[in-house]
């Protein structure tokens, strides 16, 4: 007799728990309440970490599939639009040193690789501006759509900035009221195991025993199930990514109609970097740094210097970063999602997207019975391990391309022994050919496409040898793409509203539902 998987128990709330619950419940809505239950057990006494305020464009699809109104999302989560990230002082440390990693692909990216043609021209136009409209849009403080654009549709690709605490509460209400998720406020005290090593149930102080067939660990850094019960080891990555501490502040705007940046601003410091994220009512600003290279007091001083007088009277919240991930993410009938699975510095806002991607696999490949769960788990582990590895590579790329030598932090980051082997090989390859569509970026849901590598490489002054034969092969396609990009840039700059103006209209009047 097969052992059907009918009862999903998610331990932990926050963004990870509620996104996972929502994705699973929405995907199996026709089964909910009949032969499938999704129960989320959340402690009433443990606050969420609540600093993950940046997302990827994938969240638009995720929320849409969950049946979430984008208008309601903006109104209830203080959300704003995110069109990419601007990296300042990462290359040389000079005042004018900056580049964009936008969310739009280079013009006609599927037809022609514009990087060699841009490299051959050697003019003053940045790579981003030469191939994409989004840097100019961000410079102008514009939104990626108009009030007439339907929910989740875009004129320029976008993600979100949001209030993480409000987002979790918003998801909770939606999951419970619209999707049939059962919410249990209780503290998990012990975990009951089966003889075969699976989890049988969690025992809670307030609600007693809660049994399940599949357990999802969203308990954050505590990792109540995957580490304490299943004893899955943690793979430390601090030898590659040095930042191990963050200081976070919530900074009010000077006035209610202050401009809102439609991109994350990441400004390099002496031993780390500062994020600056604008949402409707405030800016979330934090300093991510290596405690081996700077003291806590000095790091806080750099943060306060960045913010200026607005930091007076504000307290910095300290958050420890355990850089790394689980050696195995799905063991037996337990799968870790979110901080329980691992965490890396939020340089490219990868935390929430990993939750989305993990939840999507669980929902779409939901094992029908325990007898096939290990097969699904093996697939999940292979895919998830690959994704963590590629994120580590991409984050390290920002550091190894630096020309800064002004502190031990930057000098240590370019030491060969700190660079992953795969990234070393790619950097050597890219000396002679630009990243392209088939340049080892061949997964269906690659976390960072070749275009992302191009934006960082050429934003930071990396040089690739130009082959005259390659230029002649698609010169006409490249010229047409550059003209089309210039025309698109002019059109968008003329037609898009100011970022805050659009948000105010969304809050007041709403977007057109799909």
Known binding residues? 13-16, 82, 188, 339, 348, 352
Confidence of residue 445 (pLDDT cuts 50, 70, 90): low
**Fold type of domain 244-320:** D-Amino Acid Oxidase; Chain A, domain 2 (3.30.9)
* Annotation says 178 is catalytic: no
What confidence score (pLDDT) does residue 179 get?
Answer: 98
Give the rounded distance of the alpha carbon of 235 from its chain centre. 20
What is Dmax (Cα atoms) for the chain? 71
How many angstroms separate the CA atoms of 78 and 57, rounded?
A: 17
Known binding residues for L-tryptophan? 348
DSSP, residue by residue, 474-489? THHHHHHHHHHHHHHH
What confidence score (pLDDT) does residue 438 get?
Answer: 65
Integer-rounded Cα radius of gyration of the chain: 23
pLDDT at 49 over 80: no
Q: In the 3-class helix/strand/coil scheme, how is 378-394 assigned residue by residue? A: HHHHHHHHHHHHHHHHH
What confidence score (pLDDT) does residue 145 get?
Answer: 98
Say if CB 407 and CB 398 are below 8 A apart. no
How many angstroms separate the CA atoms of 286 and 274, rounded?
A: 5
Q: Which of 82, 145, 360, 396 is catalytic?
A: 82
Structure tokens that stand for 2 in this block: 């097969």
Q: For the chain, which residues make up each domain, given as ranges?
A: 7-53+163-238+323-391, 244-320
How many angstroms separate the CA atoms of 400 and 425, rounded?
A: 13
Give the up-direction half-sphere exposure of residue 461: CA atoms within 13 A in the CB hemisphere.
Answer: 13
pLDDT at 361 over 90: yes
The CATH architecture of the domain made up of 7-53+163-238+323-391 is 3-Layer(bba) Sandwich (3.50)
What confidence score (pLDDT) does residue 51 get?
Answer: 59
Give the tens place of pLDDT for each residue, 104-150.
999 999 899 999 999 999 788 999 999 999 999 999 999 999 999 99
pLDDT at 262 over 60: yes
Give the tens place of pLDDT for each residue, 475-500.
999 999 999 999 999 999 999 999 99
Q: What percent of the chain has pLDDT over 70?
A: 97
Sign, CA dihedral 477-479-483-485, equals positive
CB contact set of 84 (below 8 Å; sequence gap of 6+) = 100, 101, 102, 103, 104, 134, 135, 138, 263, 264
What confidence score (pLDDT) does residue 446 get?
Answer: 81
Taking residues 32-42, what's their average pLDDT? 96
CA distances from 169 to 16, 141, 163, 173, 343 (A): 12, 29, 10, 6, 22
CB contact set of 199 (below 8 Å; sequence gap of 6+) = 191, 192, 193, 212, 215, 225, 229, 230, 332, 333, 334
Taking residues 316-345, what's their average pLDDT? 97
How many angstroms separate the CA atoms of 405 and 402, rounded?
A: 8
Structure tokens that stand for 442 in this block: 């061949």
Known binding residues for FAD? 13-16, 188, 339, 352
Known binding residues for 7-chloro-L-tryptophan? 82
Say if CB 15 and CB 171 are below 8 A apart. yes
How many angstroms separate the CA atoms of 366 and 411, rounded?
A: 46
Q: What percent of the chain has pLDDT over 90?
A: 92
Each residue of 459-484: b (16+ CB within 10 Å) or e? bbebebebeeeeeeebeeebeebbee
Report pTM.
Answer: 0.96
pLDDT at 442 over 70: no
How many angstroms separate the CA atoms of 489 and 127, rounded?
A: 14
Taking residues 229-248, what's their average pLDDT? 98
Confidence of residue 52 (pLDDT cuts 50, 70, 90): low
The residues with which 336 forms a beta bridge, in sequence order, are: 217
Structure tokens that stand for 432 in this block: 């002679």
Taking residues 259-279, what's their average pLDDT? 98
H or E segment to which residue 193 belongs: strand 188-193
Rounded to a whole number, what is the distance in angstroms from the first to the last CA of the chain?
45
């Amino acid at each position: 007799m097969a052992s059907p998987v009918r009862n999903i128990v998610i331990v932990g709330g926050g963004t990870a728990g509620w996104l996972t619950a929502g994705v699973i419940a929405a995907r199996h809505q026709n089964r909910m309440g009949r032969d499938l239950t999704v129960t989320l057990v959340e402690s009433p006494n443990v606050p969420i970490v609540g600093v993950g305020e940046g997302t990827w464009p994938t969240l638009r699809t995720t929320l849409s599939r969950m049946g979430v109104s984008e208008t309601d999302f903006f109104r209830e989560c203080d959300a704003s639009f995110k069109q990419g990230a601007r990296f300042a002082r990462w290359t040389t440390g000079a005042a004018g040193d900056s580049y964009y990693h936008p969310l739009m692909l280079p013009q006609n990216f599927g037809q022609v690789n514009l990087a060699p043609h841009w490299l051959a021209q050697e003019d003053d136009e940045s790579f981003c501006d030469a191939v994409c409209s989004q840097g100019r849009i961000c410079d102008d403080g514009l939104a990626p759509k108009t009030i007439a654009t339907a929910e989740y549709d875009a004129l320029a690709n976008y993600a979100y900035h949001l209030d993480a605490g409000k987002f979790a509460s918003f998801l909770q209400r939606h999951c419970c009221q619209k999707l049939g998720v059962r919410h249990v406020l209780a503290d998990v005290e012990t975990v009951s195991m089966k003889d075969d090593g699976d989890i049988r149930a969690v025992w809670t102080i307030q609600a007693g025993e809660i049994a399940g067939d599949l357990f999802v660990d969203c308990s954050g850094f505590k990792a109540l199930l995957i580490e304490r019960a299943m004893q899955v080891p943690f793979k430390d990555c601090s030898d590659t990514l040095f930042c191990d501490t963050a200081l976070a502040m919530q900074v009010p705007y000077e006035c209610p109609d202050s401009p809102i940046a439609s991109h994350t601003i990441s400004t390099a410091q002496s031993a780390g970097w500062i994020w600056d994220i604008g949402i409707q009512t405030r800016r979330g600003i934090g300093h991510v740094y290596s405690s081996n290279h700077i003291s806590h007091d000095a790091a806080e001083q750099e943060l306060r210097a960045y913010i200026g007088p607005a930091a007076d009277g504000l307290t910095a919240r300290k958050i420890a970063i355990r850089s790394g991930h689980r050696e195995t993410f799905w063991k037996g009938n337990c799968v870790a999602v979110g901080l329980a699975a691992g965490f890396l510095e939020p340089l490219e806002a990868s935390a929430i997207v990993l939750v989305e991607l993990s939840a999507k696999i669980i929902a779409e490949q939901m094992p029908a019975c325990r007898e096939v769960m290990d097969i699904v788990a093996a697939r999940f582990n292979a895919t998830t391990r690959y994704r963590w590895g590629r994120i580590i590579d991409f984050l390290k790329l920002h550091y190894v391309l630096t020309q800064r030598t002004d502190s031990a932090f930057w000098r240590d980051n370019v030491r060969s022994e700190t660079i992953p082997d795969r990234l070393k090989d790619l950097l050597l390859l890219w000396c002679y050919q630009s990243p392209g569509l088939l340049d080892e970026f061949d997964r269906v849901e690659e976390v960072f496409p070749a275009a992302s590598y191009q934006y960082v490489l050429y934003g930071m002054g990396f040089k690739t040898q130009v082959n005259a034969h390659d230029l002649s092969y698609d010169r006409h396609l490249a010229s047409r793409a550059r003209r089309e990009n210039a025309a698109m840039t002019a059109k968008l700059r003329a037609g898009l509203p100011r970022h805050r103006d659009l948000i105010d209209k969304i809050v007041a009047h709403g977007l057109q539902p799909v």
